[in-house]
Amino acid sequence: MGETRTHRIGVHPVILAERATVGPPTPYTLLLAENIAPIPGATVIEIGTGSGILAIVAALQGAARVQIVDTNPAAIEAAVVNANLNGVADRIVPLSIGESIIPLPAGERVDLAISNPAQLPLPKTAEAHNPYYAGPDGRRMIDAVIAAAPRYLAPGGRLLMVLNSVTDFPASLERMRSVGLEPRVLEERSLELRPLFDRVWLDQLGGAARGLYSLRDGTAYETIYAVEARASKA
C-alpha cells in the first residue's frame, strides 16, 4: 500500500490510504464528519462515499451497519481498503448502483442517510471533464438525494448532509420541507472560495446578490452547512 494519512475526527483517528483516483477529504467532508454524533446500533447508508471516511466515522460512532454507494468503482474499492485500515470492515457493506440514488431494496429503511454530494455549479461545457459536475446549478445530486430520502428513512430517521451557499442553500431547506423532512442547521462555516469555483459562472447565476457567496474586503467566501433533516415519527 502507498502513503496513508490520519485525520482526527472528534476522538477518532481515521486512517486513509491516499489514492489518485479518489478525492481526499475536503473541508465539506470534515464539517460533516464532525457532526456525526454517537449512533449506537444504528443502520446507515452513505450516498457518494468517496474515500469512505464518513461511513468509517459512522461505524466508529457505533453504527451496526453502514451501506455505501458511489458511481465511481474506485471509490468503493478505496472505502473497503480504508474500512479495513480502521478495523470496521465487518460493518461496511458496499451496494451496487441502482435506479434510485439510494439503492436499498424496496421496503428496507435506515435510521440515518449521510451524504456529502457533488455540488459545484459549473457551465455545461465542464460536464465531460469535472468529477464534481452536478448540473449547471450544482443541484442535481442534492435534489436526487433529498427526493429519495423519505422513502428510505425509518420513522424519525435522519438525513445528514453538508450543503453550500453556492447551490442556493434556502432552496435546499425548502426541498427538504417539501418532502416532509424537518431540517435544522447543526453547524456552519465560512470558507474562502477555492480556485475550482468559476466566479464568472456564479455571477451569471446571481452571485453575491443572490447569496451564493459573500464578499469581505474584496475576498469571496462561500458558507457551508451541516444539516440534519428528520423524518416524521409516524
Ligand X SMILES: C[S@@+](CC[C@H](N)C(=O)[O-])C[C@H]1O[C@@H](n2cnc3c(N)ncnc32)[C@H](O)[C@@H]1O
Residues within the interface to ligand X (CB under 6 A): 23, 25, 29, 47-51, 53-54, 69-72, 75, 101, 116-118, 141
Quick one: 117 or 121, whose CB is closer to ligand X? Answer: 117
Query: Smallest distance from the beta carbon of 206 to ligand X, in angstroms?
Result: 23
Task: Please list the residues that pair with 61 across neighbouring strands.
Answer: none
> ∠ CA(30), CA(34), CA(36), 5° rounding?
120
Q: How far is the CB of 39 from ligand X (least distance, A)?
A: 17
CB of 197 to ligand X, least distance (A): 14
- Name the strand (E) or helix (H) holding 12: strand 12-17
SS3 breakdown of the chain: % helix, strand, coil, rounded to 5? 30, 30, 40
For residue 136, what are the contacts with CB-CB under 8 A and spacing of at least 6?
121, 122, 123, 124, 205
169 close to 225: Cβ distance less than 8 angstroms: yes
Q: How far is the CB of 131 from ligand X (least distance, A)?
A: 6
Q: Which is nearer to ligand X, 43 or 115 (CB)?
A: 115
Closer residue to ligand X in complex, CB, 141/149: 141
Decide whether 42 or 162 has the Cβ nearer to ligand X.
162
CB nearer to ligand X: pick between 182 and 194: 194
For 183, left (φ over 0), alpha (ψ -120 to 50), or beta? beta
Minimum CB–partner distance for residue 50 and ligand X (Å): 3
What cell was used for 36?
456525526
